[in-house]
Amino acid sequence: MDGGGDRGRLPRLDSEAVHMKMLILGGSGQVGWELQRWLAPLGEVVVTTRPELDLCDPDGIGRVLGGHRPDAVINAAAYT
């Protein structure tokens, strides 16, 4: 054990070194909301919710990806 007090914390990211466009699926949930807060300093964060994008609709997914052209897609959507 290292005895450090930072256990359980996410590492700090250098916002000047990274600028990405990120798409978060399921942004209205607890995980999606926290990801928005944590990733915002790294660039543009685009969020979708179920009313905006049904993940069972492949054409809708294609439209969203083509319209936003994100560098990264993060799936925080939950099956409820």
Q: pLDDT tier at 2 (50, 70, 90 boundaries)?
A: low
CB 42 within 8 A of CB 13: yes
pLDDT at position 19 is 85
The CA angle 24-30-33, to the nearest 5 degrees, is 45
The CA angle 18-43-15, to the nearest 5 degrees, is 40
Beta strands in the chain (DSSP E): 20-25, 43-48, 72-75
Q: What is the mean pLDDT of residues 13-38?
A: 86
Question: What is the CA 49 to chain-centroid distance, rounded?
Answer: 12
Alpha helices in 1-80 (DSSP H): 30-39, 58-68
